[in-house]
């Protein structure tokens, strides 16, 4: 009797499907496919080099940070801006909808209470965005019910070798390009 021994298992046999693609000798040789890929890449390179030599616009290279691109797309999304109320306070009511919808989870908000403002007693005591992880998708702008956060089309000098310098707080987000033309204006606080 075989005590403690597991029975031998049959080797796994992969199921063969009726529509499984079959590689011919041309695909199995791989060399022809490699040469085809090199021909496509070389053709693009030679076309761009020919345009560059003749002075036409070929491949566009920008030498950042010495140069900045002037041909950003019409719907380009850049740095975030917090909009302001007429009294200079942020339009944000710390509802956390932007932080909730953010796919990269880069927005951090701490809410505070202001008893002197009965219309909107919540405000952000801390509003920070981690640009080292932001994907610039614009979902935070779409989710904001107060029109408190926007994305400016220009891109500032965000690249940095230090990730800690890429955390921007609400002071910089309000003072970089101050904007107070909100869609939902609030008056100054009464109190």
Same domain membership, residue 87 and residue 41:
no
| Distance of alpha carbon 187 from alpha carbon 26, whole angstroms | 73
The residue with greater pLDDT, 129 or 33, is 129
For residue 151, what pLDDT band results from cuts at 50, 70 and 90? confident
Domain carrying residue 122? 80-175
Q: What is the CATH number of the domain that holds 91?
A: 3.30.70.3270
Any domain includes 84? yes
Q: Give the model's pLDDT for residue 1.
A: 54
The residue with greater pLDDT, 141 or 177, is 141
Residue 68, pLDDT above cutoff 80: no
For the chain, the average pLDDT equals: 82
For residue 102, what pLDDT band results from cuts at 50, 70 and 90? very high
| Distance of alpha carbon 173 from alpha carbon 177, whole angstroms | 8
Q: Give the model's pLDDT for residue 98.
A: 94
Structure token pair of residue 145? 């019910």
Of all residues in the chain, the percent with pLDDT exceeding 90 is 25
Per residue in 64-91, is it b (16+ CB within 10 Å) or e — as a string? Answer: eeeeeeeeeeeeebbbbbbbbbeeebbb
Any domain includes 86? yes
Any domain includes 91? yes
- Are the C-beta atoms of residues 84 and 91 closer than 8 Å to each other? yes
Indicate the DSSP class of residue 163: G
CA 107: distance to chain centroid?
Answer: 12
- Are the C-beta atoms of residues 116 and 189 closer than 8 Å to each other? yes
Q: Give the model's pLDDT for residue 190.
A: 56
Same domain membership, residue 86 and residue 162:
yes
Could you give the number of structural domains in the chain? 2
| Distance of alpha carbon 25 from alpha carbon 79, whole angstroms | 53
Structure token pair of residue 38? 């090199």
Any domain includes 97? yes
Average pLDDT over residues 34-43: 94
Any domain includes 142? yes
Residue 72, pLDDT above cutoff 80: no
Any domain includes 72? no
Average pLDDT over residues 143-163: 81
What separation in angstroms does the CA of 171 have from each of 91, 127, 149, 175? 13, 9, 13, 6
Q: Give the model's pLDDT for residue 86.
A: 81
Backbone phi, psi, residue 83, to 5°: -80, 160
């Amino acid at each position: 009797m075989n005590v403690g021994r597991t029975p031998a298992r049959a080797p796994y046999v992969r199921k063969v499907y009726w529509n499984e693609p079959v590689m011919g000798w041309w695909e199995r040789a791989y060399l022809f496919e490699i040469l085809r890929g090199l021909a496509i890449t070389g053709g693009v390179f030679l076309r761009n080099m020919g345009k560059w030599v003749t002075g036409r616009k070929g491949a566009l290279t920008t030498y950042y940070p010495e140069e900045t691109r002037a041909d950003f797309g019409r719907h380009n999304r850049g740095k975030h801006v917090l909009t302001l109320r007429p009294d200079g306070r942020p339009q944000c009511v710390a509802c956390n909808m932007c932080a909730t919808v953010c796919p990269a989870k880069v927005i951090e908000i701490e809410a505070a209470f202001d008893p002197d403002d009965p219309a909107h007693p919540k405000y952000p005591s801390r509003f920070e965005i981690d640009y080292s992880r932001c994907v610039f998708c614009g979902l935070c702008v779409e989710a904001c019910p107060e029109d408190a956060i926007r994305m400016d089309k220009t891109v500032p000098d965000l690249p940095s070798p230090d990730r800690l310098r890429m955390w921007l707080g609400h002071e910089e987000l309000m003072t970089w390009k101050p904007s107070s033309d909100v869609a939902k204006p609030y008056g100054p606080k009464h109190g």
